[in-house]
A and B are shown apart, each in its own frame.
Chain A
Amino acid sequence: MKSLRLWLLLSTALVAALFAFGGFGRRHEASSEQTLRTDPPRSEPAPVVTAESIAPSPAPTPAAPARAEPGSAASLQQLPRWDVPLDQAVPRLRELADAGNVDAQLELTNRLHVCTAFAQRQAEQADERDRKSTAGDEDDRRLTESSRAIRVKNAQRRIDMNGAARTACEKLPADLKASWLDSLERAAQSGNAAAMRSYAILAIEQYDSVNAIVADVDNAIAGRDKARAYLLEALRRGDAESLAELADAYSEQTSGKPQLFAADPAQSYVYAYAGSLTRGLPPIRYNNFEWILSESAKSLDAHQLADAQARGRRIYEQCCSQR
């Protein structure tokens, strides 16, 4: 019976994945945080010889002078508060973004992301889950009345928020919504490494099913290539968080989100090893590096392992040893 249930779950996942037509990929959990965060200013690192070279690399243009530094209080204070409704926040963000405010460029993409077809599908599915969960709670005797009420309230709040976002998105011009990634790319082109990394994640998130890729294959190729180039460029500029993304992108064990590269345990190990040597990353990153190192190592013999460690150390020394 247990195995039957497992199979049923797998069947459900299979059917859903095949037929939801791109509706089941998860929005990258860290995307919002990553989009919002900008790197502190740092001196230009020496060029890095990465494990592979992908050409052509995007050519960032020099950042505009005499502007508040990205991530600085002066820059962030100009942005609309997070709770300003979308249709009111967007005009101000566009204005700031057009003036070259990198934080506004990042935030504009972040706010418009909710209007993408992908995010809207995700929201619809989340609403469905919340409704189902609320209905299921009615018969769940393990819940107390108060906890049931809290769960209902929270679910309804999420549903209402998604509904409000849908309404707000409807008010925005179609061309603005279609070009939601443009401001992020402008930030990336100005040399902002966090923007490059975020771009690498967001540009491919809609390609979470074979059908989605077949249907839009030319754009998928263009988006994938640009995303790869930006991610490697971010690393070249010393963005240590890119090591985590690259380790994940090559890992055989992934969370189900679209990946930029075919699985390659050796490459995954190289980047995870470089990441594990790097100081100052959030603790969760180190847990992830450890897990990837452990999983990737299973596919590598002693010689490959030693080689991967040597390559990982070189990358660390070139990109991130000065942190």
Chain B
Amino acid sequence: MRRQAILAGSVIVVLAAALAWRSASQIGHRPAATNENLSATPPPAASARPAPEAGHQATASTTRPASESLDERPFAEVRAELERLADAGDAHAALRLGRTLSQCNGHVPTTDAQLEELVVNFSASGASISLGGREQAPEALLEMIKLSAAQKKLDCKNFVGLDEKNANVQALRWIERSAALGNADAQALYGSLAFSSYTARSALADAEGVRERKQRAADYVQKSLAQGDALALLEIYKSYSAGTLYPANAEAAYAHLYAYSLTPRASEIAPQLLERTLASGAEKLDPQSLQRARDEGARLATCCGGNPAEAP
């Protein structure tokens, strides 16, 4: 059972890493972005501004949310209090609830040795994982899982013990509440969770609902960006990669990821994962497009505390 749980956690976190590789076969076939395509990029904040502290509410307030005092305390211990505060209008509390439920549900910390053993057994069983229609070699799979596990460690700080069936539904409810209350992080993250409760069947049957959520997600991510939240850059990158909120566009995707990498919030992504994701994105672009995307990324980064002078 424990091995199952470990692999469950690992494979789920692979999803995050897979984002780095997944678009290779999809986006790679699309025509390189033109300047016109790039100009369709959602407008960043018009000018450089200091980045607000992650997750702060948009409404300027000198008082800190009550829930901030709970940040260092274990989630399980303060969950009821967070829920009470969130219901009372504390966007920070709602954000923590949403993030924890979406990112750490079912999380089981793993060692590299455990991951290696799992991949060996997985491959020996004859099973395989295909991403973007391409079967992944065990070595590549192991690398992805390790990077993803490293990211999960960052996201959950080895938080364990949460195992709820409808975690994504609850997470969306809290993120939506936090976003409505003006929290920039929640606004950025809304699009990542907005469709998680759908299956292909339910999405087609309720496509009008999907359309509403898509529009809301696009609006929120722009509001987040306008607040100077670098997390919005990362979410826009994901949308351009997957072609969901915006038409798939490898150059625009790279520009936003690159912009994110220049901001202080880039430290929230495991360095190797970010590096690998950037490299994967760069592989899809010719030298001119890559340079254009980097220039655009440097410009975009100024929205959110990024420092183009530190660009690699």
Q: Is A59 an interface residue (CB 8 A)?
A: no
- Once the chains are docked, how many angstroms separate the CA of A159 from the CA of B248? 29
Nearest A residue to B4 via CB reads A7
Q: Is the CB of A15 within 8 A of B11?
A: yes
Q: Are A128 and B203 in contact (CB under 8 A)?
A: no
Interface size class of A (residues with CB under 8 A): 35 or more
A211 to B243, Cβ gap below 8 A?
yes
Complex CA distance for A16 and B201, rounded to whole angstroms: 17
Q: Give the contacting residue for B130; candidates A20, A207, A221, A260; CB below 8 A.
A: A20
Given contacts A21-B22, A214-B214, contact A262 B7 (CB under 8 A): no
Interface residues of B in 224-239 (CB under 8 A from A): none
**Which listed residue, B3, B8, B133, touches A121 by the CB 8 Å rule?**
B133
CA of A221 to CA of B214, assembled, Å: 14
Q: A213 to B135: give the CA distance in the assembly, Å.
A: 24
Assess the A19–B15 pair: CB atoms within 8 A: yes
**How far is A51 from B244 in the complex, measured between Cα atoms in Å?**
35
A21 and B200: CB pair below 8 A? no
Surface stretch bound by A, among B57-65, B175-183, B204-212, B301-309: B204-212
| Beta-carbon nearest neighbor of A220 in chain B | B207
The interface residues of chain B lying within 8 Å CB-to-CB of A3 are 4
Q: Give the residue of B3, B11, B23, B211 whose beta carbon is less than 8 angstroms from that of A217.
A: B211
Please name all residues of chain B whose beta carbon is closer than 8 Å to the beta carbon of A121 when the two chains form the complex: 133
Contact flag A210-B243 (CB < 8 Å), given A20-B133, A125-B133: no
Contacting pair B210 A214 (CB below 8 A):
yes
**Is A15 in contact with B132, judged by CB distance below 8 angstroms?**
no
Residues of B within 8 A of A211 (CB): 195, 242-244
Cβ A12 vs Cβ B242 within 8 A: no
Please report which residues of chain B, range 107-146, place their CB below 8 angstroms from some CB of chain A when the two chains form the complex. Answer: 121-122, 125, 127-135
Cβ-neighbour of B201 out of A11, A14, A21, A254 (below 8 A): A254
Q: Are B200 and A209 in contact (CB under 8 A)?
A: yes
Give the complex CA separation of A59 and B147 in angstroms.
Answer: 56
Q: How far is the CB of A18 from chain B (nearest CB, A)?
A: 6
Complex Cα spacing A64 to B257, Å: 57
Known contacts: A19-B15, A23-B132, A125-B133. The answer to whether A9 contacts B201 by CB under 8 A is no
Interface set, chain A 246-285, CB cutoff 8 A to B: 254, 258-263
The yes or no answer to B18 lying at the interface (CB within 8 A) is yes
Chain B residue contacts of A217, Cβ below 8 A: 207, 210-211, 214
Chain A contacts for B131, CB-based, 8 A: 15-16, 19-20
Closest beta carbon of chain B to A260's beta carbon, Å: 7
B127 with A12: CB separation less than 8 A: yes
Whether B200 pairs with A215 at a CB distance below 8 angstroms is: no
Question: In the complex where A23-B132, A214-B244 touch, is A262 in contact with B3 (Cβ < 8 A)?
Answer: no
Complex Cα distance A32/B211, Å? 32
B199 at the interface (CB under 8 A from A): yes
- Tell me whether A204 and B210 are in contact (CB under 8 A): no
B26 located at the interface, meaning its Cβ lies under 8 Å from any Cβ of chain A in the complex: yes
Chain A residues within an 8 Å CB radius of B134: 128
B14, B22, B121, B201: which contacts A259 (Cβ < 8 A)? B201
User: Given A217-B211, A221-B208, A16–B242 Cβ distance below 8 Å?
Assistant: no
Q: Are B135 and A132 in contact (CB under 8 A)?
A: yes
Residues on the A chain within 8 Å of B121, using CB: 4
Contact of A210 among B132, B133, B199, B211 (CB under 8 A): B199
A-B contact count (CB 8 A): 125
- Does A295 reach chain B (CB closer than 8 Å)? no
Q: Is A224 a contact of B207 with CB atoms below 8 Å?
A: yes
CB-CB nearest in chain A for B202: A262
- Are A213 and B207 neighbours in the complex by a CB distance under 8 Å? yes
A-chain residues with CB within 8 Å of residue B203 when the two chains form the complex:
207, 210, 213-214
Minimum CB–CB distance for A224 against chain B, Å? 6
Q: How far is the CA of A208 from the CA of B201 in the complex (A)?
A: 8
Within 8 A of B (CB), among A217-240: 217-218, 220-221, 224
Interface flags for A1-35 (1: CB within 8 Å of B; 0: not) read 00111011101101110111101010000000000
Complex-state Cα separation, A3 to B2, whole angstroms: 12
A19 near B18 with CB under 8 A, answer yes
Q: Is the CB of A215 within 8 A of B244?
A: yes
User: How long is the Cα–Cα vector from A132 to B202 in the complex, in angstroms?
Assistant: 33
> In the complex, which residues 2-33 of chain B have their Cβ closer than 8 Å to any Cβ of chain A?
3-4, 7-8, 11, 14-15, 18, 22-23, 26
Chain B residues with Cβ below 8 Å from A254 are 201
Is A87 at the interface (CB under 8 A from chain B)? no
Is A176 an interface position by the 8 A CB rule?
Answer: no
- Whether A7 lies near B7 (C-beta < 8 A) is yes
Residues of A close to B26: CB separation below 8 A: 21
CB contact under 8 A between A11 and B244, given known A125-B133, A220-B204? no
Quick one: which of B255-269 are within 8 Å of A by CB?
none
Chain B residues lying within 8 Å of A221, measured Cβ to Cβ, are: 207-208, 211
CA distance A19 to B16 in the complex (A): 10
Can you show 20 pairs from A to B with CB atoms below 8 A apart?
A5-B125, A7-B4, A7-B7, A11-B7, A11-B11, A12-B129, A15-B129, A19-B15, A21-B243, A128-B133, A128-B134, A128-B135, A132-B135, A210-B195, A214-B195, A215-B242, A215-B247, A217-B211, A259-B205, A260-B204
Given A19-B15, A210-B200, A258-B201, 9 other A-B contacts at CB below 8 A? A15-B14, A15-B131, A128-B135, A207-B203, A214-B244, A215-B243, A217-B207, A262-B205, A263-B201
